[in-house]
Chain A
Amino acid sequence: MTQAETQSENKLKTKDEVKVAVIACARSVNLEGELSATKLNGVSNCDVIQVPCSGMIQPRMIEAAFNAGADGVIAMGCQIGDCHFREGNKFCRERLLGQRPPMIKKTVPKRRLKGLWMSEVQVDDFKARVEDFKGYVAEQLVEEQKGN
């Protein structure tokens, strides 16, 4: 499926239909017992893929998630200032902001890409933030269609 096809499919989804991929640091929000395979319990259409540290998230992984049909992508690490591996989340944030190589491609819809920095204990907060983000992505998809 090409990116253009994916995007045309993305149009006019309700908040619940919006598909979100979370590429998450395994040490940030503790999702033990919160996942059925990769699906986040209690939130519709949200997949979580864990990596050892948010600093490992490559721009290409974010692209892969959009290309595979995600409407929104969240890169999640620990709270900025606290990283088990010292600098992973800072580097990840800098990549999201386009301040650190490798850069994210211009074709990636950056308005539907979010950095989220939360600690192990913020499970409920995390779910609420994903819900908010889904609402935002749904609005964004409408905006993008208007723009076209």
Chain B
Amino acid sequence: MLTSFVRSGQKVILRIEDILNKVFSSEQNLLYYHGAMPNFCMWMLFLSGLLLFAYYTPTLEAAYQSVEYITDKLPYGDVIRGIHRYAADAMLLTVILHALRVYFTDRYREYRLIAWYSGVALSVFMLIIGVSGYILVWDERSFIIVTKITDFLGSLPFIGSSLASAFLNGEVISNYTMSMSFFLHTGTSFALLVLLWVHYMRISRPVVNVTWAIGSLISGIILLFAGLFPAISGPEAKFTVEPSYFDIDWFYLWLFPLIDTVGNIGAWLVLIAGVTLVTLLPNFVRNHDKEPASVSKDHCVGCRLCSIDCPYEAIYMAPRNDGSKYKEIAVVIDDRCAECGLCVGACNFDAIELPNYKSPQVMDDIRIALQS
């Protein structure tokens, strides 16, 4: 049942892509850049964040005013703030698109496990960055977020109180809390880069850049939103006033309505169950028996073409000292092999073959078919 569900999802995606190909050409097909689009949004966030970073002050007294200064006084400050706000939404949207596409086109398991696991980790990190970003503004909503997160962390057995005081950076909300939120927001962002490095492991020539047209389109949409719905703060948070403003951003702040509905422990269970389920998705499908490509010592001339073409970095060239006149031999790393046959297509010497689709056999099949 799961398989037929995934298969029909794939058909829907392929039909949409076919239409997009006809309208935009495959060169500019948005869906062919599903992984590059979040990356583009991330760099927009880094750049706009860098500009905000220059003027932001992470203290209880000055945070709100510094954000207001950026928005009202700084030339184009409101635009930069708007970009930072909506690029974050765009990043999450494109990440979801990316995840759905790789899931439904069956490109997330077996030899792609590292990418799937690191992708889940990246999404969790994105949530942390998103939530902590809303604290930095220090309006009433930020105040509510801090108290709710403190309760949420504190509700965990054993480690809860330590986590809560680590988050507050003390026992009460103070300037140190702001420093911690600032760290969670910017420090974790840099962790994204490390995780992305892991995400790209085992992938030769990953598509990380969108085209100029797609980049302009995404920037345009983000700018449009920044102009139509400017990012603004609520009333400043004050310890003497009961906070009430909580304009919800469903992209990053859905945790709080969830906590209100099912309680702290319930929200933890939902979060943990969700992350576990997504992480284990590759385990719900049976892997087929591995039959990786194999290299024939007698035929390999060390031309490197297969190791260059392998899209999963599964082939490397090793020096050979078995008396052959050739200096190198191709070596397949079995676990990384996707059994796609791209190495076979690159080989002119029958030196690398898939056990199930040997090229002489394919050529025989062609001859037999044509003579029948």
Kindly list chain B residues whose C-beta atoms are within 8 Å of the C-beta of A52: 339-341, 354, 357
Contact A81 B340 (CB under 8 A): no
With an 8 A cutoff between CB atoms, is A17 at the interface? no
A95 to B105, CA, bound (A): 26
A39 to B371, CA, bound (A): 11
Partner of A49, one of B107, B309, B340, B366: B366
Partner of A61, one of B15, B32, B359: B359
Contact A85 B26 (CB under 8 A): no
Partner of B342, one of A23, A56, A60: A56
Task: State the majority secondary structure of interface residues on A.
Answer: loop
Kindly list chain A residues whose C-beta atoms are within 8 Å of the C-beta of B10: 120
Q: How far is the CB of A79 from chain B (nearest CB, A)?
A: 6
A48 to B368, CA, bound (A): 11
Task: State the majority secondary structure of interface residues on B.
Answer: helix
Between A and B, how many residue pairs show CB distances below 8 Å? 132
With an 8 A cutoff between CB atoms, is B275 at the interface? no
A121 to B14, CA, bound (A): 7
Q: How far is the CB of B183 from chain A (nearest CB, A)?
A: 37
Contact A85 B342 (CB under 8 A): yes
Kindly list chain B residues whose C-beta atoms are within 8 Å of the C-beta of A34: none
Q: How far is the CB of A19 from chain B (nearest CB, A)?
A: 7
Contact bitstring B199-242, A, C-beta under 8 A = 1, else 0: 00001110000000000000000000000000000000000000
A99 to B362, CA, bound (A): 24
Kindly list chain B residues whose C-beta atoms are within 8 Å of the C-beta of A60: 348, 359, 363
Contact A79 B26 (CB under 8 A): yes
Kindly list chain B residues whose C-beta atoms are within 8 Å of the C-beta of A61: 359, 362-363, 366
Kindly list chain A residues whose C-beta atoms are within 8 Å of the C-beta of B341: 51-53, 55-56, 88
Given A120-B10, A121-B14: A88 and B348 within 8 A (CB)? no
A79 to B367, CA, bound (A): 27
Q: Flag the segment in A7-15, A62-70, A134-142 that touches B.
A: A62-70
Contact bitstring A44-86, B, C-beta under 8 A = 1, else 0: 0001110111011111110011001110000000011110111
Partner of A101, one of B26, B305, B338: B305
A47 to B368, CA, bound (A): 10
Partner of B348, one of A38, A102, A119, A120: A102
A73 to B205, CA, bound (A): 30
With an 8 A cutoff between CB atoms, is B311 at the interface? yes
Kindly list chain A residues whose C-beta atoms are within 8 Å of the C-beta of B347: 58, 102
Kindly list 16 other residue pairs between chains A and B, CB separation below 8 angstroms, not including A86-B203, A87-B309.
Answer: A37-B372, A60-B363, A68-B366, A68-B367, A79-B21, A81-B21, A81-B32, A82-B26, A87-B311, A87-B342, A88-B340, A101-B346, A101-B348, A119-B14, A120-B10, A121-B14
Q: Using CB atoms and an 8 Å cutoff, list the residues of chain B in contact with chain A.
A: 10-11, 14-15, 17-18, 21, 26-27, 29, 32, 105-107, 203-205, 305, 309, 311-312, 338-342, 344-348, 354, 357, 359, 362-363, 365-367, 369-372
